[in-house]
Amino acid sequence: MAANTPGTPMPKIIYGTARKGKFSGSLVYTALQAGFRGIDSGVGEHYDEASVGIGLQRAYEEGIVRRDELYVSKGRWHHQPTTFPISDRPTQYGQSAFH
């Protein structure tokens, strides 16, 4: 997936694709139709990144959203603390967009 366009702000609400399986593409498309401009395409066994890409491509082709309007993130492997340290809940809350 292409990197975010510099200056594209991270939306306060991001549509997550975890555990959507083969329905990820159609659900991403529906989320974009509904106005979401942030998508977490995820990583690992609980995500179907190819299906997410199909939903994104359909939305691009139909003019629902342009790539430069979209914030796409990837999840991270939470079971690899040496690579991606996990903060305690108070720290996570302090770093979130919702505090």
pLDDT tens by residue, 57-71: 999 999 999 988 988
In a domain, 65, yes or no: yes
In a domain, 6, yes or no: no
> For residue 72, which amino acid is it?
V
Report the pLDDT value the prediction gives residue 85, as an integer from 0 to 100.
Answer: 53
In a domain, 8, yes or no: no
In a domain, 2, yes or no: no
> Domain range holding 43?
15-95
In a domain, 72, yes or no: yes
Angle between helices 49-61 and 24-33 (to 10 degrees): 40
- The side-by-side arrangement of strands in the sheet containing 38-40 is 15-16, 38-40, 71-73
* 9 vs 75: which has the higher pLDDT: 9
- Whether 55 and 32 have beta carbons less than 8 Å apart is answered as yes
- Whether 28 and 52 have beta carbons less than 8 Å apart is answered as yes
- The count of structural domains within the chain is 1
pLDDT tens digits along 8-67: 778 888 898 888 888 999 999 999 999 999 998 876 667 788 888 999 999 999 999 998
Report the pLDDT value the prediction gives residue 72, as an integer from 0 to 100.
Answer: 86
Measured CA angle at 2 (ends 94, 80), to 5 deg: 50
* 97 vs 4: which has the higher pLDDT: 4
Under DSSP, the state recorded for 62 is T
- Whole-prediction pTM value? 0.69
In a domain, 10, yes or no: no
